[in-house]
Structure 1
């Protein structure tokens, strides 16, 4: 998960350097220069969410450092919500860049809203001490948040074989990244339901 996180973190760092270094404004980046706060919030929040979140799923850390797990969880909720809401804001209010379209607009709204819902439901579950549902919803929220990393790998084979995708194909390849992550998340959740002892000692408090 840390390796997968590296892809959007590097890309985000390059975007931040571009904004702070006075890079040349182009049609592709003009929206970020015009209103930079949402993209800065998105990059910073998503980067910490991806890296910190990866350690939440380490069973050894939960058993040996439960206090750290709880503190990290309390930080991850606002980070995840900031990443999701800033992404939704950019989807709705930023002008669409070249190559995007209405289908991708809908996909971003759907998956961004699903990430918010997963984090809220996961938080509500742990407050009820429903650890099984808490873990399941947090895994789903994290899977959606990691979509940017997987989307690189859904695009690369297509670009290598057929060149740059068109608007419709680009939207499907973006959606594939989220769907693949959610499919893996459901597989992990299913395995843990089959092994109830795997949840022993898991709680944010």
Structure 2
């Protein structure tokens, strides 16, 4: 039963729409970046030679990440859930495989490609950790769904989506550094790691806020 306090604490529909719009804007960042990366495959340069010679993992990663980013944002829409019965379940049937392929292809790219010095070392470790964590979270979300534990399912899906959207937040955490004349190599893993860390914190805040509303 939903209490009066829970109803008054629940986010308004306009606020929910604003949040979904914000997620779609954030999703546009990796989508545009991926599109540019795929477009660059037509011409071999020293920067993209590793992708041209072995394009399969990056093509899979970009394609599945686009699907995951957009569908994931729309899964938060209360409008879609109310107006289209079954939307959440049908979209989820696509979302989970897309997320798993996005994470797996990210791990594949990390293992297969030779990265420049700024992307090596600590950033490789972080990428492995993020990719593995996302796969585990998706697996836990599926297990929770099989057990009809919809609260845990939503929490794990939220965590996985937050990690996937790190690419969007990283524009904010790394963007200011691009104005510097010389960018030390250490700023790359710090900037990217901070983007993922911010999303993890935001996801936990959202999950705990849901718990308070239900309570």
Same fold (TM over 0.5): yes
For structure 2, the residue ranges without an aligned partner over 5 or more in a row are 1-22
Q: Shift of the alpha carbon at 1:66? A: 3.3
2:156 maps to 1:137: yes
Distance 2:84 2:100 in 1: 25
Shift of 1:98: 4.2
Q: What is the CA–CA distance in structure 2 between the aligned matches of 1:129 and 1:4, rounded to whole Å?
A: 31
Q: Does 1:194 align with 2:207?
A: no
Inter-CA distance 164–135: structure 2 relative to 1 (3 Å threshold): farther
Mapping 1:42-121, distance limit 5 Å: 42-121=61-140
Provide the rounded CA distance (Å) in 2 between the counterparts of 1:18 and 1:80: 24
Tell me the equivalent position of 2:48: 29
TM-aligned CA distance change 1:11 to 1:164, over 3 Å = farther
Equivalent residue, structure 1, for 2:185:
167
Check whether the contact 2:167–2:195 (CA below 8 A) recurs between aligned residues: yes
Residues 40 and 48 of structure 2 are in contact (CA less than 8 Å); yes or no, is this contact kept in structure 1? no
Shift of 1:163: 4.0
RMSD, aligned CA: 1.3
C-alpha distance 70-95 of structure 1, shift in aligned 2 (>3 A): same
- Distance in 1 between residues matched to 2:69 and 2:182, nearest whole Å: 28
Unaligned runs of 5+ in 1: 198-205
Q: TM-score under structure 2 normalisation? A: 0.86
Instruction: Measure, in 2, the Cα distance between the counterparts of 1:17 and 1:167.
Output: 27
For residues 126-168 of structure 1, the C-alpha deviation after alignment (integer angstroms, 9 at most, x for no partner) is 11110110000000000000011111110112333x3453222
Q: Distance in 1 between matches of 2:84 and 2:141?
A: 20
Matched, 1:16 2:38: yes
Question: 1: distance between equivalents of 2:181 and 2:89?
Answer: 46
Rounded Cα–Cα distance in structure 2 between residues aligned with 1:17 and 1:76:
25
**Which of 142, 164, 187 is 1:123 aligned to?**
142
Task: State whether structure 2 residue 167 is matched by structure 1 residue 182.
Answer: no
CA separation in 2, counterparts of 1:126 and 1:163?
50
Partner of residue 201, structure 1 = none
Residues in 2 aligned to 1:159 and 1:30: alpha-carbon distance in whole angstroms: 23
Distance 2:162 2:125 in 1: 19
Partner of 1:4: 26
